[in-house]
Chains A and B, each alone.
Chain A
Amino acid sequence: MLKRVHFPPSVLPYLLVAPQIIITLVFFIWPASQALWQSMLVEDAFGLSTEFVWFENFQALFRDDQYIGAFKRTAFFSLAVAFVSMSFSLVLAGFADRVVRGAIVYRTLLIWPYAIAPVLAGALWVFMFNPTLGILAYGLEMLGYEWNHQLRGGQAMALVIMAASWKQVAYNFLFYLAAMQAIPRSVIEAAAIDGAGPIRRFWTIIFPLISPTTFFLLVINAVYAFFDTFGIIHAVTQGGPANATTILVYKVYNDGFVGLDLGGSAAQSVILMILVIAMTVLQFRYIERKVEY
């Protein structure tokens, strides 16, 4: 869809796009191409000379067990966050959709965690699970389960998954509820007359009809877990213990700013960019797949 009519040509449009374009060039295109360039350079130990090495940094990365480990860990972390927070939201939205009056009240009470910064979400959860003080760690201890995410990698991973999922429930809930409410009432009523009870209706009518939303949320949650959870990891575990929670974005930051391995960090950046581009393309494909009632 494009406009038939336009304003006559002048320099004005260039002036209008200029701010956006200049910022994009200076802060996006230039750094991104720098990353691309640096990803093919190797600096010597004293930072005195650099050498152009083509794809050696990438090859090194994929030979590096730590990097491969971070890759697998990120995949697991993303899937876990998506699964935990989406299934929790799906259940709540399914019930909220049944509420005739007061659905808005429930929505209000469920969506506000969206506004909380990931790093704060991390802070709240790490406080509840603080091994010496935390209220939930204490509760677990009473039940005979010893919690110390500062020592145990599995528990650290569980903690960041919980914190990351908790924050994302709001978003998923909102989209699931909207998708369910977009289904015409009469379709649900027709199914009820056809003899389908609430649970059967959910799985045979509602769930299939909101599948585009599920797909969309899967991509959004994956992107969120990949990139936006940096604050959680940074505040809660610093990637530890023993790299048990080092995900890719954390590793880029850590290798670049703490480890000062510019070539390796740049190569990681490039790989992440490729991943984002792939996910964005996926997300845009979703737009074409909407249910028509």
Chain B
Amino acid sequence: MAKIRLDNLRKSYGGTEVLHGVSGEIEDGELVVIVGPSGCGKSTLLRMIAGLETVTAGEIHIGERMVNGLEPARRDIAMVFQNYALYPHMTVRQNMAYGLKIRGLPKEEINRRVEEAADILELREYLERKPRQLSGGQRQRVAMGRAIVRDPQVFLFDEPLSNLDAKLRVQMRLEIRKLQKRLGVTSIYVTHDQVEAMTLGDRLMVLNGGYVEQFGTPIEVYERPQTVFVAGFIGSPAMNFLPAELSDGHVVLGNGARVPGGAGEGEVTLGLRPEHLVADEDGPVRVRVALMEQLGANTLIHGVLEGTDQEMVVSLHGIRDIAEGEVMGFSAPQDALHLFDRRSGRRIN
């Protein structure tokens, strides 16, 4: 087991830099999810840690070792690929045993480890099959098994669930989490799916355009997003953003409404999560309803801030019946206000 330290990592292809100095420490036994939209550099970062991409600048440490120049095989890592990357010509058993065989482990030891992993993953009866005879979920498990038997210091997951259907994805997500907890292996998990990120990670590294926007626990990221990007990326439905001004202890909205909260002066972006607005006849946030979506457990209200054309979404519990065109009032608790500097997009409260 080992800690991982990333120190100002940079990656350039030709003249273009795609990672602009990524730093962070991953604790022993921790599962960190790297999340971000496609093209944010998350897979590149993972592949650099694996040793499949060269490091342009900065350092990667696994345990006590600086691994920048080490080949993948020497880094004591295991990786689960998006397309599983199983060896199509080998049986499940051979797939799992391949890495051990190369390391020259004795036959009995290899068999013991493979069968142990097969038991954990409920693959016992499939050991003699070829990958093409397995379903997507089973292949996914074999890929996991191949990582487990190696008993590495670090697991790397590169969007391992994106090829599965929605139901299986939820199930496998839980299994990966259980397994990782049980084995206690330091893990890095890359995904673009924010739900996967929130449910799996001990901590999240939110990446955008090659920069780390925030690195923290799921709750921190949800409750105190550090940038407008993070605030908008995490949470569903996405946070509402309203241009506003700070003025003696109030946030003044575009239509002049004053929401109590905030300190200081200046132009800000106010973030309000749809699920944090509370229906309140006299509330300062007044929304003209344009459309309703009944989801059963809750109701989504789409509309605009009254007197402006700023679109808003509010999520209320239960089934509501509201007429289109009606104006509803909402209040926002002080701790539900997210204030960002209008220019830099950084959090200021």
Contacts and interface: CB of A to CB of B under 8 A. Distances in A.
Interface stretch (A14-22, A188-196, A242-250): A188-196
Is the contact region of chain B dominated by helix, strand, or loop, or is it mixed? Answer: loop
Contacts of B78: 193
Nearest to B89: A208
A205 interface: yes
A197 B103 CA distance: 11
A204 B90 CA distance: 10
Contacts of B81: 186, 189-190
B331 interface: no
Contacts of A282: none
B138 interface: no
Given A192-B72, A193-B73, A196-B73, A291 B102 contact: no
A218 to B, nearest CB: 18
B99 A195 contact: yes
Interface in B59-83: 71-73, 77-79, 81-83
Given A208-B89, A209-B89, A189 B102 contact: no
A152 interface: no
A209 B79 CA distance: 21
Interface string B122-157: 000000000010000000000000100010000000
A191 B98 CA distance: 8
Contacts, number: 65
A200 interface: yes
B27 to A, nearest CB: 23
A172 to B, nearest CB: 21
Contacts of B52: 189, 192-193
B50 interface: yes
Contacts of A288: none
Contacts of A190: 79, 81, 85-87, 146
Contact of A192 (B73, B83, B87, B103): B73
A192 B102 CA distance: 11
Nearest to A211: B89
A192 B88 contact: no
B99 A194 contact: yes
A194 B102 contact: yes
Contact of A184 (B71, B72, B85): B85
A215 to B, nearest CB: 14
Contact of B132 (A184, A187, A197, A292): A292
Nearest to B102: A195
B88 A209 contact: yes
A192 B71 contact: yes
Contacts of B79: 189-190, 193
Interface string A169-196: 0000000000000001011011111111
B82 A293 contact: no
Contacts of A209: 87-89
Contact of A186 (B72, B83, B146): B83
B140 to A, nearest CB: 14
Interface in B87-131: 87-89, 98-99, 102-103
Closest 4 CB pairs of A and B: A194-B99, A186-B85, A195-B73, A190-B85
Interface of B: 50-52, 71-73, 77-79, 81-83, 85-89, 98-99, 102-103, 132, 146, 150
